[in-house]
Amino acid sequence: MNSAIEQLKLKSSNTFQSQVKLINQMIINNELRSALLTNAYFQINFDNLEQYVHIYTQITNTACSCLIADCDHIRLGFYDKFGTLYAYNPADDIWIIPGMLSGCLPVSSLLSSTLKCFYGQDCVDQIISYFSTKTKFYAMKADKKSAYKIDSNVQTMIENSMIEHFL
């Protein structure tokens, strides 16, 4: 019984990871554009529509081009960039969301992120303050018995099929 469960865990995790890698490589190699324009953007220059590929500065201070890789280690937050065409500047930071990462492809960014912010009411309130809603949102409660820590990334949870423990 235990070997069957171990096989299931291994196979489902490997299958998911392989599919995500395949999809990401297809997007990058075929130069497809994210609907959120996180890997490229368009700009009108002298009546011509031109495409530009994002080059991000990652947390490690290394440049990463969305043309050749899935850059997924960029701090996610709220920035004062409205109407500007210039690269990221730390002075533009309004607020960085703890544990959340961004990058070229939204799925990879989510998988690299943690849910740390959503465990703190102050953090949840700060995110909600940027949206016009009167709905009250509550922070998640951390369970000390959980197999996942507050700073576990989403990829780790997916690899374990979001299952705390098998019987």
pLDDT digits (tens, 9 = 90+) for 11-48: 766 777 788 888 888 888 888 888 788 888 888 888 88
Tell whether the model's pLDDT for residue 114 goes beyond 90. yes
CA dihedral 89, 90, 91, 96 (to 10 degrees): 130
Residue 38 phi, psi dihedral angles, 5° rounding: -85, -15
d(CA 36, CA 38): 5
Q: Phi and psi of 50, rounded to 5°?
A: -115, 145
What's the confidence (pLDDT) of residue 99? 92
What is the structure's pLDDT at 97? 92
pLDDT of the residue at 91: 62
Model confidence at 92, pLDDT cuts 50, 70, 90, reads low
pLDDT of residue 124: 96
